[in-house]
Amino acid sequence: MDISNWTTTLSTIGLATLSYLSYKLTRQASIYLLPSKLQRYNTSNKNWALVTGATDGIGFGFCQELCSRGFNVILHGRNREKLVQRATELNTAFPERKTGIVVLDAVGMNDGVDDIAEQVRDIIGNEGQGQGRLSVLVNNVGGEKRPSVTLGTLKYADVDATIDKNARFMAQITRVLLPLLSEGQGRSGLILNVSSLSQYGLPYICIYSATKGFVDSFTKALEAECSAERCGVEVMGLRVGEVKSAGYDVESTLFVPLARTLAKAALDRVGCGKVIVWAYFWHWLQGLSFEVMPRWVLMHATIGRMMAIKKRGEEKAFKRQ
Ligand SMILES: NC(=O)c1ccc[n+]([C@@H]2O[C@H](COP(=O)([O-])OP(=O)(O)OC[C@H]3O[C@@H](n4cnc5c(N)ncnc54)[C@H](OP(=O)(O)O)[C@@H]3O)[C@@H](O)[C@H]2O)c1
């Protein structure tokens, strides 16, 4: 092959690669313009959604957004008083919607989690004839109580608490509620699992990071299983970057949305055709860097961020003394 043919071949390959990448990126970006298909899970306008970790942050944002879109909501949490208070707030803001509460600590849970199915049936059944059914489960509870520390400094109970809160509880409550979600006709139920940017494997939050990897794998596996079994339940994983919430008290910016903004974006993605999706457009852009940048650059930036979080936590603790 002479030099001019060689140059032409390389240019063609380069152009084809560029066109393919542009096509892929445009396709990925276009999902942020698609209309949400959430309403297919509430055709009667009487259906119920259960949100775990619902008393604050993104979980409460989901409750507000689901109520505003016509769902009745069951709030799950560990603190009965706070759950009642949040349910009352929802009843005031959305008087036409109904609420219920389920109390269970996600950490150290035992087979008491099996009772949740009965509790849900009681809440929905108590509403009388013509009531809706449970059609949405949002597995939101999670977080890391001790971020920015090395694995070796954690205690046995710290590790277990993070695994319970972010992984075990989600697996157990999904097992318990799946039969209820698949009770209707056709596409009867939706499961949304909240994941995180940290599923890429981030330092100083090793256990939390690993649990979010679990969330992604669990989501993909369950989605394939539900499709194979035709159980009528759609399963989606929601990747999330930084969000201002009760548990992550940072300044809100374009790249750090408020909890309700994130919840709204997440519900807008329902039916977009992807099993794992970045809920919020600007987080998707951030996530792209994890696909294309060298890992050492990303880890350098992440370590800087982790140290800043650690310093802020220490300053807050000092002020409280
Ligand atoms: N915020 C972020 O930047 C961010 C980024 C990526 C992913 N995420 C994910 O988004 C989800 C929500 O995070 P968030 O920042 O909104 O959290 P948050 O503000 O800390 O709220 C957590 C919620 O979970 C409840 N909860 C905590 N521990 C519990 C337990 N042991 N048993 C039952 N309920 C419990 C809390 O209840 P109490 O009111 O009783 O504390 C609260 O309602 C998590 O899965 C997190 O991993 C968040």
| Residue 208 appears among annotated catalytic residues | yes
Q: Using 50, 70 and 90 to split pLDDT, how confident is the model at 185?
A: confident
H or E element, residue 19: helix 3-30
Report the nearest-CA residue for atom 36 of ligand 1. Answer: 53
Q: Is the CB of 34 under 6 A from ligand 1?
A: no
* Residue of 52, 60, 78 to mutate, ligand 1, most atoms within 8 A of C-beta: 78
Q: Report pLDDT digits (tens) over 141-159.
A: 999 988 889 999 999 999 9
Report the nearest-CA residue for atom 38 of ligand 1. Answer: 55
Q: Give me the pLDDT at residue 309, please.
A: 86
Q: Is the CB of 246 under 6 A from ligand 1?
A: yes
Strand order of the sheet with strand 276-278? 99-103, 72-77, 48-51, 134-139, 189-194, 233-239, 276-278
For residue 231, with 0-12 CB atoms within 10 Å meaning exposed, 13-18 middle and 19 or more buried, which class applies? Answer: middle
Q: Is the CB of 109 under 6 A from ligand 1?
A: no
Q: Does residue 168 carry a pLDDT above 70?
A: yes
Q: Report pLDDT digits (tens) over 26-77.
A: 988 999 999 999 999 999 889 999 999 999 999 999 999 999 999 999 999 9
Q: CB count, 10 Å around CB of 151?
A: 12
Q: Is the CB of 216 under 6 A from ligand 1?
A: no
For the chain, give the number of residues.
321
Q: Does residue 128 carry a pLDDT above 60?
A: no
Note the CATH number of domain 34-291: 3.40.50.720
Cα 148 off chain centre by: 21
How remote is the CA of residue 37 from the centroid of ligand 1, in Å?
26
How remote is the CA of residue 101 from the centroid of ligand 1, in Å?
17
Q: Using 50, 70 and 90 to split pLDDT, how confident is the model at 311?
A: confident
Q: Give me the pLDDT at residue 127, please.
A: 52
Contacts of 175 by beta carbon, 8 Å cutoff, 6+ apart: none
Mean pLDDT of the chain: 93
Q: Give me the pLDDT at residue 48, please.
A: 97
Q: Where are the domains of the chain?
A: 34-291
> In whole angstroms, what is the distance from residue 137 CA to residue 39 CA?
14
- Point out the catalytic residue in the list 41, 204, 208, 280: 208
Report the nearest-CA residue for atom 39 of ligand 1. Answer: 55
How remote is the CA of residue 130 from the centroid of ligand 1, in Å?
34
